[in-house]
Structure 1
Amino acid sequence: MLKVLVSLLLLTVASFASSGGGEAQVNPDLTMTWVGISCLFIFVIGYYFVAAEEKYEIDKAKPALLIGTLMFMLVAVYYSMNGLDMDAVHNEASHLILEIAGIFFFLFVAMTYIESLIHMSVFDKLKYNLVSKGYTYRKLFWVTGLLAFFISPIADNLTTALILSTVLITIEKSRKDFLVPGAINIVVAANAGGAWSPFGDITTLMAWTAGKGDFTDFLFLFPAAIGGYLVTAIILSKFVPKEVPAFDVSTEKVPVMAEGAKVVMGLGIFTIFSAVVGHQVLHLPAMWGMMFGLALLKVYSYGLKKKYGKDHFNIFHSMAKIENNTLLFFFGILAAVGALYFIGWLGLAVHVYQPSVLGPTIANICVGFLSAIVDNVPVMSAVLKAGPEMGLDQWMLVTLTAGVGGSLISFGSAAGVGVMGKLHGIYTFGSHMKYAWTILVGYFASVAIWYLQYEIIGFYHAG
């Protein structure tokens, strides 16, 4: 896989270097200097260790954070050695920190709410309600998939996939004819569901906060997202048995949601509302409304502590359980992509969007395949940094393809990586690729629906 990625990068560099640098840059083009070549090499090597985190048992945040910080420091060293304007480095780093902070704090609050709901047994209750119904494997396949599709726009696709894959392994621990299609179904549904919500996936959040579309613009992706998912799910369901799994309700303890859980769910919904209104109406960063919601949760947690005792609910315990490695991974990889942009590499990528090369539609479809090989976060960050001139229809297409394209390979999305860890030895790269053709069919179905809706009918803007 590394050879494929390196080959793609080298071919891209070779073809673009011969065609010039695109738009005029205020800062000097460093692509063919020692720092430009070194940073590209560092990025490729570092991302190899990110993709192979299971093989080397190294957390992906470590190489991402290392390359992100190192690349910018090398750029600063180059500027200092050559007497260039150091203010340019300072301003770019400051702008990048502001950009990352908006995403960082948005996810921080969202994760705090999710951990709080887990602590209050909300998801345990959901899991019990599902497995105690006496559904067949095939019906459970559909229920978990549809839940993943509609939960991920509110939560995030990784959390949704982890919760529902836990349901799968609770129902059945050995039958791969149910677990593998069921795991793929959840990953595809979570990624597709996250694609039509500004905060359902990190890629849509990045596009929304970058101003590539209003909140309602992303909702118009719903037909393409659910259409592609349903095509894959219908095909996959044919491989799932119709038997009823063995589950003795009498031996299972019925989970009870903690006092205040429903209020916390309500506060979570209001927090999302605050983020949307704050960003769309008040023109504040989306994270501002999220932090306001966190403040409300902290006040409410104080009331719960006074009423039920300090052990009932402690918001700092929820914060302590947040996956900080995920947040640090985003910081590192976005910093690395920012360095590639500052050096000049991403400016070259704009050329593929020219009609004489691939054009925006084909280029954006290819983004989906690239996000499966690499990861949708750095790919989407690269597209946003490159800043090709595109209309709303094309920005929605790249949001769709970057989101759902990660499902094509098991490690192409955070949801897929999470489920691989949850169903270790069952949901693997090999078992996923056995059914990958069904995802590919659904991917092209999503693109076809987008084309019909956006390019032929022209139905994609609330105004």
Structure 2
Amino acid sequence: MIKVLMTLIFGSLSLFASAASTGENPDLTMTWVGFACLFIFVVGYYFVAAEEKYTIDKAKPALFIGTFMFILVALYYVLNDLDLNLVHTEANHLILEIAGIFFFLFVAMTYIESLIHMGVFDRLKYNLISKGYTYRKLFWVTGFLAFFISPIADNLTTALILSTVLITIEKTRKDFLVPGAINIVVAANAGGAWSPFGDITTLMAWTAGKGTFTDFLFLFPASIGGYMITAFLLSRFVPNTKPDFDASKEVKPKMAEGAKMVMFLGVFTIFCAVMSHQVLHLPAMWGMMFGLALLKVYSYGLGKKYGKEHFNIFHSMAKIENNTLMFFFGILAAVGALYFIGWLALAAVVYDPEILGPTWANIGVGFLSAIVDNVPVMSAILKANPNMGLDQWMLVTLTAGVGGSLISFGSAAGVGVMGKLHGIYTFGSHMKFAWTVFIGYVVSVSIWYVQYEILGFYHIG
């Protein structure tokens, strides 16, 4: 520990001396603005983590610290007569980076809200609970749906939809609801880890060029292997009896006209995003925005045929969780400020082979993402940009994704399900079964090690 601290201190001093002599971005870690921004980030993130305690939406402190930290940095440059063009350039680069992911998520959320409006998920919910399955079979069905839907949609939306199914099936039996909720969170996070757009962290790594579309697909064995172990252990605690449900008394929901076409357009939009990024070398959001344009055209046709209120795409846009997008902007701006100041260069010292090395550092990222949140953790790693090969970038993508399941509030999916199953799925109830998630995490990393480091099977060509 002392060795790490000494490395940080002397590393900071050497970086400052280097910057002064070369004219590059000066290292500000040991200045008043460096310590002030670090303090602001820690305090702000405390309020993000404790949003339920203080009843304050996490987007508010995130947006405040993200914008305020850069203002402080710019003020420091003014007071010390430094080159403000450096701040201007960094801010522009950061905006460009955030915008690509921001609009990608915006389009994805619009499609999800459109499918909800057209009754697609209501129909799915009814089909599940009317089959006469046992609690244990429903546990497995909802888990597999979460695992395979999240790579296409995203882990948060998937978890919210399927946790609604859980509470519809049974409202009181915690022996089904708690393991079922954990199962959905783990499945959604694991499913999102092997898709470039299944989670924000994988989307960030993909758009940053750390791997091609197919490179992420090689994480499938590690993702599903770890999930299956956790699900098997959890299923032992789920009752094997049938819930009380009379399908004859329930009205079978109908999907609105045009719902199937919207589903097709959603899949085609994802295809366009992949082609834009991999073939045309355009940002992935370009293909997503093209898909949004197609949805707008189709909604116009539906309006002409069935009336304007049948499907209004702007109503779907209005229902998007803008607080999630604002949180995303704020936290990435804050991490960008820490990078510009120089703190992330110091944090990257743990990747030095003489300290932890990339493998153990990336495994540790999983535990860190459970305590903090995988979005700022992945953003910090991408900003620090340690010298790693494709195998290590895929490892950190895996651990940042599945590691968030170790604690109930370690991922957006977990926080969303806690809100849906308020008072049932809690931090305490999750920790009773956390050992099952930990075993699955170890299995995922072990599969990665065998596949990537021993067999070398992780890249085409």
TM-score of the alignment, normalized to the shorter chain, above 0.5 = yes
User: 2:10 and 2:226 mapped to 1: Cα distance?
Assistant: 38
* Counterpart position of 1:158: 156
2:8 is aligned with 1:16: yes
TM-score scaled by structure 2? 0.97
Name the aligned partner's letter for residue 138 of structure 1.
R
CA contact (8 A) 2:12 2:29 kept: no
* Counterpart pick for 1:317 among 315, 318, 339: 315
* Counterpart position of 2:167: 169
* Counterpart position of 1:370: 368
Deviation, structure 1 residue 20: 4.1
- Residue 299 of structure 1 aligns to a residue whose secondary structure is helix
* Counterpart position of 2:29: 31
* Counterpart position of 1:405: 403
CA contact (8 A) 1:360 1:390 kept: yes
* Counterpart position of 1:178: 176
* Counterpart position of 2:83: 85
* Counterpart position of 1:386: 384
* Counterpart position of 2:127: 129
2:147 is aligned with 1:149: yes
Name the aligned partner's letter for residue 38 of structure 2.
L
Q: Deviations over 1:309-352 (max 9, x none)?
A: 01100000000000000000000000000000000000112211
Name the aligned partner's letter for residue 370 of structure 1.
L
Deviation, structure 1 residue 22: 7.5
Q: Deviations over 1:110-147 (max 9, x none)?
A: 00000000000000000000000000000000000000
Deviation, structure 1 residue 374: 0.2
Aligned pair in 2 of structure 1 residues 357, 246: CA closer, same or farther (>3 Å)? same
Name the aligned partner's letter for residue 451 of structure 1.
Y
Q: How many pairs does the alignment contain?
A: 455
What is the aligned-residue identity percentage? 81
Aligned pair in 2 of structure 1 residues 168, 84: CA closer, same or farther (>3 Å)? same
* Counterpart position of 1:277: 275
User: 1:32 and 1:11 mapped to 2: Cα distance?
Assistant: 19
User: 1:201 and 1:356 mapped to 2: Cα distance?
Assistant: 32
User: 2:265 and 2:169 mapped to 1: Cα distance?
Assistant: 31
2:216 is aligned with 1:218: yes
Deviation, structure 1 residue 11: 11
* Counterpart position of 2:240: 242
User: 1:409 and 1:37 mapped to 2: Cα distance?
Assistant: 29
2:93 is aligned with 1:101: no
User: 1:14 and 1:316 mapped to 2: Cα distance?
Assistant: 55
CA contact (8 A) 2:12 2:30 kept: no
Q: Deviations over 1:192-242 (max 9, x none)?
A: 000000000000000000000000000000000000000100000000000
Aligned pair in 2 of structure 1 residues 244, 385: CA closer, same or farther (>3 Å)? same
* Counterpart position of 2:112: 114
User: 2:169 and 2:241 mapped to 1: Cα distance?
Assistant: 12
Deviant stretches of 4+, over 3 Å: 10-15, 18-25
User: 1:189 and 1:11 mapped to 2: Cα distance?
Assistant: 39
CA contact (8 A) 1:21 1:348 kept: no
* Counterpart position of 2:416: 418
Q: Deviations over 1:282-325 (max 9, x none)?
A: 00000000000000000000000000001100000000000000
User: 2:369 and 2:140 mapped to 1: Cα distance?
Assistant: 26
Aligned pair in 2 of structure 1 residues 142, 37: CA closer, same or farther (>3 Å)? same
Segments of 5+ residues of structure 1 without an aligned counterpart are: 1-7
CA contact (8 A) 1:22 1:350 kept: no
Deviation, structure 1 residue 18: 3.8
When the two chains are superposed, the root-mean-square deviation of aligned CA atoms in Å is: 1.4
* Counterpart position of 2:429: 431
User: 2:138 and 2:3 mapped to 1: Cα distance?
Assistant: 45
CA contact (8 A) 2:12 2:27 kept: no
CA contact (8 A) 1:22 1:351 kept: no
* Counterpart position of 2:50: 52
Deviation, structure 1 residue 395: 0.1
CA contact (8 A) 2:114 2:313 kept: yes
CA contact (8 A) 2:29 2:342 kept: yes
CA contact (8 A) 2:193 2:219 kept: yes
User: 1:175 and 1:56 mapped to 2: Cα distance?
Assistant: 29
Aligned pair in 2 of structure 1 residues 309, 57: CA closer, same or farther (>3 Å)? same
CA contact (8 A) 1:341 1:386 kept: yes
* Counterpart position of 2:336: 338
The correspondence of residues 281-320 of structure 1 with structure 2, limited to 5 A, is 281-320=279-318
User: 1:272 and 1:283 mapped to 2: Cα distance?
Assistant: 15
CA contact (8 A) 1:367 1:379 kept: yes
Deviation, structure 1 residue 251: 1.7
* Counterpart position of 2:442: 444
* Counterpart position of 2:263: 265
More deviation in 437-446 or 248-257? 248-257
Deviation, structure 1 residue 14: 6.4
User: 2:267 and 2:177 mapped to 1: Cα distance?
Assistant: 32
User: 1:422 and 1:16 mapped to 2: Cα distance?
Assistant: 43
- Residue 255 of structure 1 aligns to a residue whose secondary structure is coil
Aligned pair in 2 of structure 1 residues 245, 14: CA closer, same or farther (>3 Å)? farther
Deviation, structure 1 residue 21: 6.2
Q: Deviations over 1:346-366 (max 9, x none)?
A: 011221111100000000000
Deviation, structure 1 residue 247: 0.8
User: 1:258 and 1:147 mapped to 2: Cα distance?
Assistant: 22
